[in-house]
A and B are shown apart, each in its own frame.
Chain A
Amino acid sequence: MTDAILSTRSLSKSFGALQASDSVSLDLRAGEIHALIGPNGAGKSTLIAQISGALRPDSGSVIFDGQDVTPLPTVARARLGLGRTFQISALAMEFTVLQNAVLGALGQRGRAFRVLGKVMRDKALLESAESALQEVGLSEFRNTVTAELSHGQRRQLEVAVALTLKPKVFLMDEPMAGLGAEGSQRLTGFLDGLRHRAPILLVEHDMDAVFALADRISVLVYGRIIATGTADEIRANAEVRQAYLGEEDAA
């Protein structure tokens, strides 16, 4: 696929006898939301970790923006434009909301080794941070200490920090987790527009959101991708119904 910005080629990773990723190949094209779904333990987190750089695959490669990034660590991949959000909010809890966003903007700009000059008075950084907070609707909480945010607000801040990175690709690990119906709907609407800025690889349990948003869906079961296709194709796929959707219906 030539227009893929991010792709994995036959990624395999095992932990002892457990095959967490079994020759996983998927790609993310410009302007799309590609959802990755699968039952618990299917290896979604392991796959995300290999794409983001936290885990090294046993074999296979990760191609990002035309470059083989497999040997690169997380930091280098982030600098190349891989903007990720975490399943469990990873924020500087003692910082204010604004400081967290400014940290993102600083990461995007680089030059973080400057020891003089007030970072919270830096117009360019503040502008980027404030506009990201505005977009996710956290502006009024800019001076709140992050530890005092609600769970849902932390999820929003995760997304805001990713926005400040102005990435080429968003890698979102369950951004809706624990958001509640209303928050989930709002974020769905937001991500819908975001795909035109940068494509999104979306790992998500919220099936309403996935089927409403995704241009394509890949289904991961026991480390293998058993199907990739549009929402309708996935709904109609017998193997998927049996392996995944069926289980959920029964539950």
Chain B
Amino acid sequence: MRRETILNVGIPGLLLAIGLLAYALDETYIITLATRAAILALAGVGLNIALGLGGLVSLGHAAFFGIGGYAMGILAFHAQTYMPLWGVIGGTTSMPIIWLVAVIASGLAALVIGALSLRTSGVYFIMITLAFGQMLFYFAISWPAYGGEDGVSIYMRNNFPGLNTLVPLNFFLICFAVLAVVLIFAGRLGKSPFGLALQATRQNVARVEAVGLAPYKLRLMAFVLSGAITGLAGALFADLNRFVSPSMLSWQMSGEIMVLVILGGIARLSGPVAGAMVFIALEYVLEDLSHYWHIYLGAILLLVVLFARGGLVGLIAGREVAHD
């Protein structure tokens, strides 16, 4: 087996092991941290489709993360207040339905944002995605129906058929299972016809056009898939915190997702998982040392960008072998 294949199984495996070990040792807080890592990893896997495979540097992925979060917040809010949305839709506390709504809503948002942003490239693309993200952020702040700046609190975690989601381990396992399924999908995506064409657009647009494939459509589809997955992560994140607020839509959130992808390895399947685990671990360890733990995170990020371009996964697995 290739090193990368081992890592693709091993890194998520390690996350699962940490969660289970924490359960065995009755360390509830660690389970919560592992859950957070799984969810942020999922958001990163989403971003990595646009960023890694497509070379699309989106600084607006918090928009999709937040839309997923608000999809959960709004549906659960209407369920807990027994006030139907627009007088007809009753809200729900069922996770699968919430996920579906989150995926569709964030996917549609990605379709609109992508359709406009992808007409530009380079630094303009970065700026436009950032601008869309900020637009949604300020919209959420000034939208009084769902708490405005204060956000929405949900009293009970939403339900999953057959599982008590209030048990931390159960919710961790749900999040991990979603991550695993999406990882398998993303892995297959990279090796699919679409994956090949998308990766070609990252390397040479003229070549893709010359073989008769439309780069814009390929990128748009990548952007929609990417946004939808990040939106799904957002719904889980809101469920973990039982709270959604405009901070999920902030550009710092976009940055955080991007940082963990870079940390773990851009375009590497398990990169975001490794990145999220290290990110959460650093946050946990360094926050004790200093309130300004981001300084250390910044230094580490600098080292990774300067000396390990493939991120942590690249450091261990070496250059990606492409002939597969």
Contacts and interface: CB of A to CB of B under 8 A. Distances in A.
Interface in A100-129: 100, 102-104, 106-108, 110-120, 122, 125
Given A90-B207, A113-B221, A114-B194, A145 B322 contact: yes
Interface stretch (B26-34, B107-115, B185-193): B185-193
A78 B210 contact: yes
Contact of A119 (B196, B207, B214): B196
B212 A93 contact: no
A92 B211 contact: no
B197 A106 contact: yes
Contacts of B217: 113
A118 B207 contact: no
B295 interface: no
B-side binding surface: helix, strand, loop or mixed?
helix
Contacts of B185: 115
A20 interface: no
Nearest to A84: B210
Contact of A103 (B191, B206, B207): B207
B323 interface: yes
B211 A104 contact: yes
Contacts of B208: 103, 107
A112 B197 contact: yes
A120 B213 contact: no
B229 to A, nearest CB: 12
Interface in A146-170: 161, 164-165
A86 interface: yes
A164 B207 CA distance: 13
A108 B196 contact: no
Contacts of A184: none
A95 interface: yes
Contacts of A108: 211-212
Contacts of B203: 92-95
Nearest to A85: B210
A54, A74, A92, A120 — most chain B CB neighbours (10 Å): A92
B209 interface: yes
Contacts of B196: 99, 102-103, 106, 119-120
A106 B213 contact: yes
Given A112-B194, A113-B221, A116-B188, A165 B200 contact: no
Contacts of A102: 196
B202 to A, nearest CB: 8
Contacts of B288: none
Contacts of A83: 210
A78 B200 contact: no
Interface in B97-113: none
Contacts of B225: 115
A116 B225 CA distance: 14
A165 B195 contact: no
B290 interface: no
Given A91-B207, A92-B199, A115 B188 contact: yes
A95 B322 contact: yes
A115 B212 contact: no
Nearest to B267: A94
A73, A83, A100, A111 — most chain B CB neighbours (10 Å): A100
B193 A119 contact: yes
Contact of B218 (A100, A104, A112): A112
Given A114-B192, A116-B192, A95 B199 contact: yes
B212 A75 contact: yes
A79 B195 contact: no
A143 interface: yes
A139 interface: no
B194, B208, B211 — most chain A CB neighbours (10 Å): B211
B204 interface: yes
A188 interface: no
A98 interface: yes
Nearest to A142: B323
Nearest to B214: A75
Contacts of B189: 115
A10 interface: no
A88 to B, nearest CB: 9
Nearest to A147: B203
A82 B136 CA distance: 44
A94 B214 CA distance: 20
Contacts of B199: 92, 94-95
A120 B321 CA distance: 13
B324 A120 contact: yes
Interface string A51-69: 0101000000000000000
A161 B218 CA distance: 20
Given A95-B322, A99-B196, 11 more contacts: A54-B206, A74-B210, A75-B212, A103-B196, A103-B211, A106-B213, A107-B210, A108-B212, A120-B191, A120-B196, A120-B324
26 contacts: A74-B210, A78-B212, A79-B212, A92-B200, A92-B203, A92-B207, A93-B204, A95-B200, A95-B203, A103-B200, A103-B207, A103-B208, A106-B196, A107-B208, A107-B210, A112-B193, A112-B213, A113-B217, A114-B193, A114-B194, A115-B192, A118-B188, A119-B196, A120-B191, A142-B323, A145-B322
